[in-house]
Structure 1
């Protein structure tokens, strides 16, 4: 039975956390609020308030029950084959559902937890002796962290020593997916949200079959509403149906392809265009041209089309000939009305607290005269 965890290099016993004895130790605010959650969990608290990240709207508080969170951890453990005694690195923000559920998985599955503050490159926050070989079996990351790790000198060997990697919080782009395919561990992209208590489906990105399809976790059911959006029922939703804004294609009872968000459809010239389709094409073109920048697709008012599709890139403007090449090559991969008309540049994207691009805030800034 495990009875200790390590956070920011300090080891705490479960008894000390449960009793609150850790409060006498000087610590960072991050360690403080993480141990406060651990204290509540170990003392059997039954209700928790978790805030959404705000990536698709205003952040909102959601009440989650202990049983829901326990069910989520057990479902993930079964799907990934996690077993008691395995070692987990917790490097996601423990104020939000992804980081919180890593803690819950640690407690419920009996995992050894090493907890560090979130950063772009978690390896820089680990002690030098942790760099290679890794003492971890399981880690959850966001795409930005994976990209940074792959660029790090010991990053690829470190990843290859893991057994399971899950990636969530944002889409995995063309270049990153290509880089992940040769890795040895099982690498999964997750699908879920705060309302479903983290992920309820996984897609193994380095699988030889069905690599583009998400598979539901055990006990999860799905259906589509009239819009074509997925509805979810699982133990993590207290067996109630949850309606989402995610457009999907169901391939069978347990597999689906994610197409994009219903609230990210642009009506241009009377034709509805799915933003994610355009982003995938731009991503492929920019990768092939060796351009690595964050970007997203949006629209601006147009007197003729109603909405004009645009691309917003982070950083300094590209030369006009490179912009034109990207737009022309992208148009070759898309239908006529799907092709973006222009490129716009913002020095630095606004971000949510979980490091996702805050598109709404960025666009508001872009539209200012």
Structure 2
């Protein structure tokens, strides 16, 4: 089931009976009526969810930058399958309204194309990695290739998913951004001849780093105020950067600092299973913080097998000491893994 929104007709479009679709309809009506400010909430993936007030001018600037970077056109058919209560879904609605794209709104799910009839040829879609992975596993590659452009964000793209993205003909971009920056401020091409391992800023965005090496951002999307992040980056040029990990994802184990994302990336280089996993820590009397792995599975995962493969990829102190398994990860409202909550409910 889907709900179609045509920007120029929104004020004459009757309200849908479905509560989720009505939420999207109400936002688009407010936008068409000229609402100047909106209050959104952060997803809670990196902290306690909090309200953020955004100006219409900031959201318009973001939509215009994305249109320019991805060459989005009026008349495109856009799939809106990210939660419209949060910035990623809201900005899909804003892009549709500002650019003049027909919007096909579906409730968030792991396989959003199932809700759209095959005779509808979509042009633009934004997904989280889990959605893209699920659709590729369901043999929907041919349908994805009918898109003109796909963006993916909200979580890291695993090496196994990246290898599948390389096989797609449609241009696929990874996004970098957050609620405070009104969705993404940088893009990284994941496939094709221009694929890159680094993010390139959209026009009009300035960045720098603080003493921790964490990214700070300023531009029209931030109302020309500097936004400080906790993301540790590597600046290649003033407009190109690579992600290292979050400053709050660095643990101190026996006096040695470990970047958790580095451990996860190393495992991703050889792990071929579909199970989700992440590196975390538990209190330890001797080490202070003991490095562990948590897998979303009901099956046993061999620590020795993983250690053997990590020996050639990581330093000895970066090798996990334990593996824990849980049937289902805790998630934020936007579908991201809530690591702290997951650790709290481990058996």
TM range (shorter): over 0.9
What corresponds to 1:4 in structure 2? none
- Does 2:232 match 1:264? no
The one of 219, 224, 230 aligned to 1:245:
230
**Deviation string, structure 1 residues 206-262 (Cα, Å, up to 9, x no partner):** 143561000000101110100000100111001111100000000001100000000
The one of 333, 336, 343 aligned to 1:356:
336
Matched pairs, number: 347
- Does 2:341 match 1:365? no
Deviation at residue 286 of structure 1 after TM alignment: 1.4
Deviation at residue 128 of structure 1 after TM alignment: 4.3
Partners of 1:317 and 1:186 in 2: how far apart?
36
Deviation at residue 11 of structure 1 after TM alignment: 6.1
Q: Is the 8 A contact 1:49 1:63 kept in 2?
A: yes
What corresponds to 2:200 in structure 1? 215
- Does 2:193 match 1:225? no
Pairing of 1:61-210 with structure 2 (within 5 A): 61-130=51-120, 135-153=121-139, 155-209=140-194
What corresponds to 1:3 in structure 2? none
The one of 301, 323, 339 aligned to 1:343:
323
**SS in structure 2 of the partner of residue 353 of structure 1:** coil
What corresponds to 2:274 in structure 1? 292
Q: Is the 8 A contact 2:36 2:55 kept in 1?
A: yes
Q: Is the 8 A contact 2:4 2:105 kept in 1?
A: no
What corresponds to 1:18 in structure 2? 11
- Does 2:307 match 1:327? yes
What corresponds to 1:8 in structure 2? 2
Gaps of 5+ in 2: none
When residues 310 and 209 of structure 1 are mapped into structure 2, their CA distance, relative to the original with a 3 A threshold, is same
Deviation at residue 22 of structure 1 after TM alignment: 1.7
Over the aligned positions, Cα root-mean-square deviation in angstroms equals 1.6
**Deviation string, structure 1 residues 46-91 (Cα, Å, up to 9, x no partner):** 0101111111111111000000000000000001111222221111
Deviation at residue 327 of structure 1 after TM alignment: 2.3
Gaps of 5+ in 1: 1-6
Partners of 2:197 and 2:228 in 1: how far apart?
22
Question: What TM-score comes out, normalization by structure 1 length?
Answer: 0.90
